[in-house]
Structure 1
Amino acid sequence: MTTDTPSVLIVEDEPDLANLYAAWLEEVCAVQTASDGTDALAAIDESIDVVLLDRRMPGLSGSTVLETIRERDLECRVAMVTAVEPDFEIIEMGFDDYLIKPVSQDELVAVIDQLLLRSSYDEQLREFFALASKKALLDDQKSRAERRSSQEYAELEDRLAVLRVEVDDTMQELLAQDGYRQLCRDITGNSVVQE
């Protein structure tokens, strides 16, 4: 996420629907709209946190826009918001979530919240593992006395402890969402996810 207020791009070729989604989200997000795939690709940059992407549009399809987003390695999350019923071809598509129209305001807000939480979790894990690797290297290369006398090492240990709590808290938030709980069950193959 780039700011405290998430930035959402709505890509929808039906103006009334795009305006409705924007009105629903404007109190909780910085909202931009694009009416077709070409406008969407021009609007998408590192400042966009979430893209709500229609799949079937004239010109560039949502699928093509999605492929281009992934080719550019943009870190935004993408939720397809479409009337297209999913089929097995979705397995190869790089979206983060899929909503079938019609959708409610609650559904849009919930999917944005979940995608932002997943992004936060990813960032926390990335930082945690990077710091844990540095700690492991220092543990291997420096004596206990050297580590104890280092202010930088003490700060590293403190940051790892804080991150461990943040990662755990974020995971608990994700698990509190029923859809994410099912995803975790699918990943682990367990019928019960530990809380």
Structure 2
Amino acid sequence: MTGDGLPTVLTVDDEPSLTALYEAWLRDEYSVYTATCGDDALQLVETHDVDIVMLDREMPGRSGEAVLEELRARGYDCPVVMVTGVEPDVDIIEMPFDDYLVKPVGREGLISTVQNLLTRQSYDEHVREFFALARKKAVLEAACDGSSLSLSDEFTELKAEYRAARRRADAARDDLLTEELGEVVLHH
């Protein structure tokens, strides 16, 4: 968060008109930084406290995928939403993003995605992992032919990871409820 207490969003797209549009949509509720290339995006993350990155997948120079890999390699675990014209395919399974939006993206969809990602930040890491995998699975199921997904070893592995993450998220939820109930009993 910035000094003004607002969560920060970095929008990265090689089309300046889109970063300006996203900034206009978000600036009432968030501090917004913009970048039109991957290198500038990485510099902004180094010099500013960024809560969410909205990242175009295909950009000249350093691609959005390369920026995402570099962010994770540098230890940044802030939520990343890919905002792209590239239809998803099983190639997204290994990408460590939190959400995936296909352009054109409307104002309400963009704002609700940012709000949801910020809300998820307060969740246990297992719950956040579950939501990221659930979103990836849903994006692929909506965009890809079911028969091609059924033949994909990567998608089969994603479904297994999703089920395991769900079990971990359920256990984290149960632990939290047990702790909260214990606190209620202690304070009464």
TM-score by structure 2 length?
0.64
Q: Where does the alignment leave 5 or more consecutive residues of structure 1 unmatched?
A: 126-166, 168-173, 190-195
**Residue correspondence of structure 1 range 41-190 to structure 2 within 5 A:** 41-45=42-46, 47-122=49-124, 187=163, 188=166
CA-CA distance at 1:81 after TM superposition: 0.2
TM-score by structure 1 length?
0.62
- RMSD of the alignment, in Å? 2.8
Aligned AA (1:12): D
CA-CA distance at 1:75 after TM superposition: 2.5
Q: Distance in 1 between matches of 2:124 and 2:62?
A: 30
Q: Where does the alignment leave 5 or more consecutive residues of structure 2 unmatched?
A: 140-161, 168-188
Bigger CA radius of gyration: 1
CA-CA distance at 1:2 after TM superposition: 6.7
TM-superposition CA deviations, 1:106-154 (whole Å, max 9, x none): 111111111111111137x8xxxxxxxxxxxxxxxxxxxxxxxxxxxxx
Q: Distance in 2 between matches of 1:88 and 1:75?
A: 22
Q: Distance in 2 between matches of 1:16 and 1:2?
A: 24
Q: Distance in 2 between matches of 1:75 and 1:62?
A: 16
- Aligned partners of 1:11 and 1:40 also within 8 Å: yes
SS at the partner of 1:44?
helix
Instruction: Choose 96-105 or 40-49, whichever is displaced more.
Output: 40-49
Aligned AA (2:18): L
**Residue correspondence of structure 1 range 31-50 to structure 2 within 5 A:** 31-45=32-46, 47-50=49-52
Q: Distance in 2 between matches of 1:95 and 1:64?
A: 12
SS at the partner of 2:123?
helix
Question: For this pair of structures, how many residues does the alignment match?
Answer: 135
**Identity, % of aligned positions:** 50
